[in-house]
Amino acid sequence: MAAKHGSLSINSDNIFPIIKKWLYSDHDIFMRELISNGCDAITKLKKLEMMGECTLPNDYKAKIQVLVNPEEKTLKFIDNGIGMTAEEVEEYINQIAFSGATDFFEKYKDKTNEDQIIGHFGLGFYSAFMVADQVHIDTLSYKEGAAPVHWECDGGTEFDMEEGTRTEVGTEITLFINEDCLEFCNEYKAREIIKKYCAFMPTEIYLSKENTTETQIIKADEKLDTDTVLEEVAKEKEEDEQKLKIAKRPELLNETNPLWARHPNECTKEEYLEFYRKVFQDYKEPLFWIHLNMDYPFNLKGILYFPKINTEYESIEGTIKLYNNQVFIADNIKEVIPEFLLLLKGVIDSPDLPLNVSRSALQNDGFVKKISDYITKKVADKLAGMCKTEKEEYEKYWDDISPFIKFGCLKDDKFCEKMTDYILFKDLDGKYLTLPECLEVNRIDTEDAVDENGNKVEAEVVDEDGSKAKTDILDEDGNVVDENAGEEEKNEKVIYYVTDEKQQSQYINMFKNAKMDAVILTHNIDQPFISQLEAKNEGIKFQRIDADITDTLRAKTSKKAEKEMEEQAEEIAKIMKKVLKKDALTVKIEKLKNKKISSMVTISEESRRMQDMMKMYSMPGMDMGMFGKEGETLILNASHPLVQYVLDNKEDDNVKMICEQLYDLAMIQNAPLEPEAMTKFIARSNDIMMLLTK
């Protein structure tokens, strides 16, 4: 076969149904397309005037009118833009996928740029056929001597064109709505769609019902030139204001200069709040907002609001509306808005977005990722800036914004890196600390420790014979080994935390008495968040306040006493296991500074986290008992007389009761008792009180 070069041809009979049926996902998009065509036509006319290519009448007021006519089943879109000559209709309308925008820029490329023009694919007009059986165009070009054009097409691939009757420069598109889509002729439906897509388009859009007899009453001095006065309203009293009955005014549906398009310095707090209420229908005030405004390396403007989240359980799904040249594209487009920012509410407008032809989705390319990274960076910068310069405000918002920030840190490494120093932790006194401050906080001087009565605790360590305890140990070469050195180093990096202030109050009291601090982490997101912090910051460890007995809570003992305690622990463990019938129970004896505590439990951090995780992923109906209570240790306070009593009177009749009560008391400080245990505990407590009466 001979080599051949040629151009592909498209059969319009086949391609047209594709455009009508499948190009646009939602039928209502035709309104956006036709209104944005009108908008473009007006923008072009204004640009031409600025270039001195045409003059507009002094009273020229750009507008797009949408007229619904349910009786005649029509919908009209009228603009006073650039209009089209017969040649232009031939070129841009009769040829599918030919956009006038490209030609316009080609022609005036030295004098103007592409900004503000919405269309560029040359397909939007045909979306009208998704809802209309027939479409008419009546247009008159701004060009001197241009003749009006009438064009019509019934949705097939043939059209008719002839000289029209339009006398004003601009274009009128009439849609004869098909029987399945009559809802679009309804005024309310039309309003809803226009408000959805066109609420911020740069040209005024008016909606009215064609041939309506509806009227409205206005004050005489509020009459506009465009009003049609039907009659003067008769006054009831001489002093009454003069009023007029006029034909119902078309309703302005959009805001042409949205807040995000203005410079942040020009916007007031009230305007930001008003905008938020209007756009998101949320009457709870947002906490604060970020106004994004950038021209380079891409054009992007927007406002992101941090909503107030009332409860942990409230859905905190936000809405970020994406616009392209003030034309609504879609909500929450994941490619542009980082997932964690979808908790916010806001608007983003970027004329540089790489839209697909239906203008309802994005072409996913590297550029989109850059936009997304930029937004993340701006949010982190704003938060860091607030933390540095408006710390008080930042602290005030912290509880509300912290789940969002922590979620962001979990989802986005760069955000996490930028935010790590600006994460706050609330301590036991309600003070907010940064991570480095938390790490500092527990390096306390034990001299300052107090006992449960607030008295300073003895720093001098004596053994039970009253002699000063010798705590030095020697290594094999006879040198004194500082046995706490390694541990102190480790302790410096432990951050203690509380997950339930009420339930863990006993431990909190012990901490407070020992002048130790802990941070409060009650949100669900805190567990994964601290695990991530630990993974990213080697040497930092988070430990729940009930996970272990720290050295600071222990009274100092001599080596000899320690040895003795070990023996006692063995003994008492035997008694406890027997009485409680719990063979696997781990029992420890500790000499606690707080002499009023007889018993308590600790649950090792690792085991607890593991159990929490298993619970989280457990299937409904799964028996959690199978995970057991691993990591749980019963701590008995050697300084408490009850513990001593058990040791000294193993055979006593009351020992069983004391042991059971000690165990329950320990458990109850950590978590609510199981129903059966609770019943026994109450009965036993009553029995114990009865003993007092004897």
Q: Please give the full DSSP string across 469-484, using - where no structure is assigned.
A: P---EE-TTSPEE-TT
Sites for ligand ATP among residues 155-184 (CB under 6 A) = 171
For residue 68, the cross-strand partners are 75, 209
Q: Does 122 bind ligand ATP (CB under 6 A)?
A: yes
d(CA 201, CA 325): 8
Pick from 24, 92, 206, 280 the residue near ligand ATP by CB under 6 A: 92
Closest to ligand ATP by CB, 82 or 132: 82
Beta bridge mates, 110? none
Q: How far is the CB of 301 from ligand ATP (least distance, A)?
A: 21
Q: Residue 555, interface with ligand ATP (CB under 6 A)?
A: no
Candidates 65, 80, 85, 99: give the one binding ligand ATP (CB under 6 A).
99
Beta strands in 309-393 (DSSP E): 319-324, 327-331, 345-349
Contact 173, 153 (CB under 8 A): no
Residues 303-332 that bind ligand ATP (CB under 6 A): none
Chain positions 14 to 43 lying near ligand ATP, rule: CB under 6 A, are 33, 37-38, 41
The CA-based dihedral angle spanning residues 152, 46, 30, 253, taken in that order and rounded to the nearest 10 degrees? -120
CB of 89 to ligand ATP, least distance (A): 8
Q: Does 250 bind ligand ATP (CB under 6 A)?
A: no
Determine which residue in the list 35, 84, 244, 519 makes contact with ligand ATP, applying CB under 6 A: 84
Site for ligand ATP contains 342 (CB under 6 A): no
| Least distance from ligand ATP to the Cβ atom of residue 355, Å | 8
- Asked if 148 interacts with ligand ATP (CB under 6 A), we say no
Give the 3-state secondary structure of residue 58. Answer: coil
Both tokens of 278, joined, read 């209007």
Amino acid at 455: N
Identified binder of ligand ATP from the candidate list 81, 286, 302, 338, rule CB under 6 A: 81
Whole-number minimum distance, CB 232 to ligand ATP, in Å? 39
Pick the stretch among 20-28, 117-125, 193-201, 452-460 that binds ligand ATP (CB under 6 A): 117-125
Interface with ligand ATP includes 124 (CB under 6 A)? Answer: yes
- DSSP SS3 for 487: helix
Give every CB contact of residue 350 below 8 A, 6+ residues apart in sequence. 298, 299, 300, 301, 302, 322, 323, 324, 336, 371
> Are 160 and 176 in contact, with CB atoms under 8 Å apart?
no
Q: Does 664 bind ligand ATP (CB under 6 A)?
A: no
Q: Render the burial of 209-241: b for 16+ CB within 10 Å, e for the rest.
A: bbeeeeeeebeeeeeeeeeeeeeebeeeeeeee
Rg (CA), the chain: 38
Stretch that binds ligand ATP, among 119-127, 421-429, 532-540, 645-653 (CB under 6 A): 119-127
- Residue 138 in the binding site for ligand ATP (CB under 6 A): no
Shortest distance, CB of residue 187 to ligand ATP, whole angstroms?
Answer: 22
Give the interface size with ligand ATP as a residue count (CB under 6 A): 22
Instruction: Give least dist CB 38 to ligand ATP, A.
Output: 5
Instruction: Give the residue numbers of the binding site for ATP.
Output: 33, 37, 79, 84, 99-100, 171, 359
Residues β-bridged to residue 121: none
Interacting residue ranges for ligand ATP, rule: CB under 6 A: 33, 37-38, 41, 79, 81-84, 92-93, 99-101, 119-125, 171
